[in-house]
Amino acid sequence: MESKFQLFFFTLSLLILTIHAQTLATYIVQLHPHGTTKSLFTNKLEWHLSFIQQTISSDEDPSSRLLYSYRSAMDGFAAQLTEAEIEYLQTSPDVISIRPDRNLQIQTTYSYKFLGLSPDRENGWYQSGFGRGTIIGVLDTGVWPESPSFIDHDMPPVPKKWKGICQSGQAFNSSNCNKKLIGARYFTKGHFAVSPTRIPEYISPRDSSGHGTHTSSTAGGVPVPMASVFGYAKGVARGMAPGAHIAVYKVCWFNGCYNSDIMAAMDAAIRDGVDVLSLSLGGFPVPLYDDSIAVGSFRAMEKGISVICAAGNNGPMAMSVANDAPWIATIGASTLDRKFPAIVRMANGQVLYGESMYPLNNKEPSKNKVLELVYLSGGDSESQFCLRGSLPKDKVQGKMVLCDRGVNGRSEKGLAVKEAGGAAMILTNTELNLEEDSVDVHLLPATLIGFDESITLKAYINSTKRPLARIEFGGTVIGKSRAPTVAIFSARGPSFTNPSILKPDVIAPGVNIIAAWPQNLGPTGLPEDKRRVNFSVMSGTSMSCPHVSGIAALIRSAHQNWSPAAIKSAIMTTADIIDHTGKPILDEDKPATSFAMGAGNVNPHRALNPGLIYDIKPYDYVNHLCSIGYTNSEIFSITHRNISCHAIMQKNRAFSLNYPSISVIFEDGMRRKMFSRKVTNVGNPNSIYSVEVVAPQGVKVIVKPKKLVFKQESQSLGYKVWFISRKRVTTNYAEGYLTWIHSENDSLRVRSPIVVSWKTK
Ligand X SMILES: *[C@@H]1O[C@H](CO)[C@@H](O)[C@H](O)[C@H]1NC(C)=O
Specify the residue, 32 or 547, whose C-beta has the smaller distance to ligand X: 32
Q: How far is the CB of 487 from ligand X (least distance, A)?
A: 27
Options 458, 470, 720, 727; binder of ligand X; rule CB under 6 A: 458
Beta strand pairing status for 224-229 and 252-253?
unpaired
The 3-class secondary structure across 337-384, one letter per residue, is: CEECEEEEEECCCCEECEECECCCCCCCCEECCCEEEECCCCCCHHHH
DSSP β-ladder status, 256-258 and 468-473: unpaired
Applying CB under 6 A, the span of 109-117, 454-462, 546-554, 713-721 interacting with ligand X comes to 454-462
Under rule CB under 6 A, residue 178 binds ligand X: no
- Is 271 near ligand X (CB under 6 A)? no
Q: How far is the CB of 32 from ligand X (least distance, A)?
A: 6
Kindly state the smallest distance separating residue 200's Cβ from ligand X, in Å: 19
Rule CB under 6 A: which of 523-582 touch ligand X? 532-534
434 lies in the site for ligand X, by CB under 6 A: no
- Give CA 63 to chain center in angstroms: 34
Near ligand X by CB under 6 A, which window of 167-175, 207-215, 350-358, 486-494? Answer: 167-175
Show the site string, 140-159: x = touches ligand X by CB under 6 A, - = not: --------x-----------
At closest approach, how far in Å is the CB of 294 from ligand X? Answer: 20
Q: Which stretch binds ligand X (CB under 6 A): 75-83, 295-303, 620-628, 743-751?
A: 743-751
Q: Which residue lies nearer to ligand X by CB, 90 or 462?
A: 462
Question: Rule CB under 6 A: is residue 730 a binding residue for ligand X?
Answer: no
Q: Min. distance of Cβ 686 from ligand X in angstroms?
A: 13
Nearer to ligand X, 307 or 533 (CB): 533
Query: What b/e readout covers 482-505, taking b as 16+ CB neighbours within 10 angstroms?
Result: ebbbbbbbbbbbbbbbbbbbbbbb
Q: Name residues whose C-beta falls within 8 Å of residue 401's C-beta, 6 or more positions apart in sequence.
A: 373, 374, 375, 376, 386, 391, 417, 420, 422, 424, 425, 426
Binding of residue 374 to ligand X (CB under 6 A):
no
Q: Count CB atoms within 10 A of the CB of residue 690.
A: 14
Give the neighbor-by-neighbor strand order of the sheet with 699-704. 612-613, 672-681, 716-725, 699-704
Residues 361, 651, 747, 761: which binds ligand X (CB under 6 A)? Answer: 747
Residue 102 as a binder of ligand X (CB under 6 A): the answer is: no
Number of residues that bind ligand X (CB under 6 A): 18
Using rule CB under 6 A, residue 455 touches ligand X: yes
Closest CB 169 distance from ligand X, rounded Å = 11
Q: Which stretch binds ligand X (CB under 6 A): 236-244, 457-465, 486-494, 702-710?
A: 457-465
Residue 759 lies near ligand X (rule: CB under 6 A): no
Q: Which stretch binds ligand X (CB under 6 A): 126-134, 620-628, 741-749, 753-761?
A: 741-749
**Long-range CB contact pairs, 648-655, < 8 A, 24+:** 648/622, 648/623, 652/623, 655/623, 655/624, 655/626, 655/627
User: The dihedral of CA 130, 133, 137, 141: what is its sign?
Assistant: positive
The Cβ of residue 225 has, within 10 Å, a number of other Cβ atoms equal to 11
75 three-class SS = coil
Cβ contacts of 87 within 8 Å, gap of 6 or more: none
Asked if 328 interacts with ligand X (CB under 6 A), we say: no
Q: Of the candidates 6, 174, 520, 712, which one interacts with ligand X according to CB under 6 A? A: 174
Taking CB under 6 A as the binding criterion, the range among 204-212, 379-387, 456-464, 615-623 that sits at the site for ligand X is: 456-464
Q: Does 459 bind ligand X (CB under 6 A)?
A: yes
DSSP secondary structure code for residue 78 in this structure = E
User: Considering only residues 121, 606, 624, 751, which one is a binding residue for ligand X as defined by CB under 6 A?
Assistant: 606
Contact 89, 51 (CB under 8 A): yes
Q: CA–CA separation, 167 vs 188, rounded Å? A: 13
State which residue, 526 or 665, has the beta carbon closest to ligand X: 526
Residue 660 CA to residue 678 CA, distance in Å, equals: 10
Among 462, 631, 730, 732, binds ligand X (CB under 6 A): 462
Q: Does 91 bind ligand X (CB under 6 A)?
A: no
Among 538, 586, 748, 756, binds ligand X (CB under 6 A): 748
| Residue 57 near ligand X by CB under 6 A | no
d(CA 388, CA 403): 12
Q: Does 348 bind ligand X (CB under 6 A)?
A: no
- Other Cβ atoms less than 10 A from the Cβ of 392: the count is 12
The footprint of ligand X on residues 632-651 (CB under 6 A) is 642
CA separation for the pair 70, 372 (Å, rounded): 60
**CB 513 within 8 Å of CB 113:** no
- 8 A C-beta contact, residue 184 and residue 207: no
Task: Supply the minimum distance, in Å, between the C-beta of residue 90 and ligand X.
Answer: 15
Q: Which of 404, 380, 406 is nearest to 392 (CA)?
A: 380
Residue of 72, 92, 603, 609 interacting with ligand X (CB under 6 A)? 609
**SS3 of 478, please?**
strand
Residue nearer to ligand X on the CB measure, 49 or 402: 402
Strand 687-694 and strand 586-587: the pairing is unpaired
Rounded distance between C-alpha atoms, residue 523 and residue 517, angstroms? 8
Residues involved in catalysis: 140, 211, 542
Q: Which residues bind ligand X (CB under 6 A)?
A: 32, 148, 173-175, 455, 458-459, 462, 532-534, 606, 609, 642, 745, 747-748
